Chain A
Amino acid sequence: MSIAEPAPSLSPLALALAAAGPIAIGGILAVHGTSPTPLVAVPAVVFGVVAATAPALYIATAAAGTAPSLATVVRAFGVAIGAFGIALAGLLLPAAFLSLSSTSPSTTFVVATAALGGAGLLALRRLGKELAPARVTSLTSGTVFLVWSAATLGIAGRLWWDLAKEVMS
């Protein structure tokens, strides 16, 4: 790709990368672990947590009177998931290299956590940017988004920790 192109926002490629990325991270974990469970469990954690917490963001912002339209929120989540997929695709190669060039399971855990966490943080930032022009900017809306982000990351982090502990033990 020699000519600069606008970054894909809600492209099928980005969504496909978002679907494949967690499976690949699960594969990296599975190589160092004892079972193929992560191949299914990692995508389940990522998409399960988003599916479970996304409605809460809409409900909370709507209740606070700062919510954009439902279509805008759905589109913003699509863009953020696409951003997650693109970021994770870029981090996969370094993560796989760092994991495979070490015999230590803890290295694999740290590297996989960093890749997923980094892509997740970028996706949250993109979600905030996508929602910002459409919602009423106020202290309440900012607080709601921050609390929702912290809760989502906390739930995902806890499930990820439990999964990694089981796989790496």
Chain B
Amino acid sequence: MIAAVPAPAPSFGLIDQLLRDRDAMLAKIAAGRDLASIMRVMVATIAIAMAIVGAAIGSYRGGVQIGYAAIKLPLVLLGTAALSAPALTALGAALGRRVRLAGDLALVVTALAFGAMLLAACTPLILLGRAMDVSYHSMVLGLVGMFAIAGCASLRMIVHALSLENGPGRSSSIIGLCIVFALVGGQLSWALRPYLVRPRAQDVPFVRDVSDTLVDAITGTLRSARGIYVRDGAPLPGEH
């Protein structure tokens, strides 16, 4: 006797489709089918997957940082989607591309959900690093690599979806989105840091004070690497 295999819940079906058959998922979004349910499932996927990744990163220090990072990382991805998708729609529409804000938002959120799933798949590596007491800087480099791979995969999915379109405004949308996506995603993650904190750190802020941008920080680091410093010395403990 063969038992009937229950069909997977629609939400799991969408996640499965995202992992196995992204072309079909993109076709569904392009046709404007089930956009509301796709949005719901993908937002939930980002929230859960990134909370898991955040908790794993926060476990390097432990304690309250596990919760902090688990809250902040989903906000980074969802905020990036909310700030980038209107730019994608507007830049294309300015050159005559069809206006489909809901479709573009669903596309960006779905691509980020794919990236979040890839990062969730990297969680065992993060925990392995914690278990093996990998040094702080090695952990940072490893995480940068993982996030770069996930970010490129998300962006590639969006570019692929836009390249399937016909009509004007496609190339400008792609270029504009890549710039906005990189700037906003980078700055939002920078503004909500820290995620990875040294185990011996005494106090952990939820977020740091507003300061320079990520670009400013990179520029400053490049200057320092060339021996050009803007101050005479690093502050001693107790100094500001």
Residue A122 contacts which of B32, B95, B100, B213 (CB distance < 8 angstroms)? B95
Contact A7 B96 (CB under 8 A): yes
Residue B119 CB within 8 A of the other chain: no
Chain A nearest Cβ from B135, distance in angstroms: 30
Which of these binds chain A: B5-13, B62-70, B154-162, B183-191? Answer: B183-191
A158 to B83, CA, bound (A): 30
Partner of B90, one of A89, A97, A123: A89
Interface SS majority for chain B: helix
For residue A133, CB closer than 8 A to chain B, the reply is no
Q: Are A7 and B184 in touch, CB under 8 angstroms? A: no
Complex-state Cα separation, A129 to B167, whole angstroms = 13
* B194 within 8 A of partner (CB): no
Known: A86-B90, A93-B87, A98-B183. A7 touches B213 (CB 8 A): no
Residues on the A chain within 8 Å of B32, using CB: 2-4
- Judge whether A94 and B184 touch: CB under 8 Å: yes
Q: Which of B174-217 contact A (CB under 8 A)?
A: 176, 180, 183-184, 187-188, 190-191, 210-213, 215-216
The interface stretch among A57-65, A99-107, A137-145, A148-156 is A99-107
Asked whether A2 and B212 contact (CB < 8 A) given A86-B93, A90-B87, the answer is no
CA distance A87 to B190 in the complex (A): 26
- Partner among B83, B92, B172, B216 whose Cβ is within 8 Å of the Cβ of A93: B83
Count of chain B residues with a beta carbon within 8 Å of a chain A beta carbon: 40
Task: Name the residue on B nearest A82 (C-beta).
Answer: B94
Q: Which residues of B contact A98 (CB under 8 A)?
A: 183-184, 187, 213
Task: Please name the residue on chain B nearest to A125 by beta carbon.
Answer: B95
Q: Are A126 and B103 CB-contacts (below 8 A) given A90-B90, A101-B210, A103-B210?
A: no
Q: Are B213 and A107 in contact (CB under 8 A)?
A: yes
**B105–chain A nearest beta-carbon distance, Å:** 10
From known contacts A2-B32, A97-B184, A102-B212, infer whether A7 and B99 are also in contact, taking CB-CB under 8 Å. yes
Known: A83-B95, A90-B88. 20 other contacts (CB 8 A): A1-B102, A2-B103, A4-B100, A4-B103, A6-B98, A7-B96, A7-B99, A86-B90, A87-B91, A90-B86, A90-B93, A97-B184, A98-B183, A98-B184, A101-B187, A103-B210, A104-B216, A122-B95, A125-B95, A126-B96
Interface residues of A (CB under 8 A from B): 1-9, 83-84, 86-91, 93-94, 97-98, 101-104, 107, 118-119, 122-123, 125-126, 129
> Footprint of A on B, CB under 8 Å?
32, 35-36, 83-84, 86-103, 168-169, 172, 176, 180, 183-184, 187-188, 190-191, 210-213, 215-216
A-B contact pairs, 25 of them (CB 8 A): A1-B99, A4-B100, A6-B98, A6-B99, A7-B94, A7-B98, A7-B99, A83-B95, A86-B94, A87-B91, A87-B93, A90-B87, A94-B87, A94-B183, A94-B184, A98-B183, A101-B213, A102-B211, A102-B213, A104-B216, A122-B172, A126-B94, A129-B95, A129-B96, A129-B168
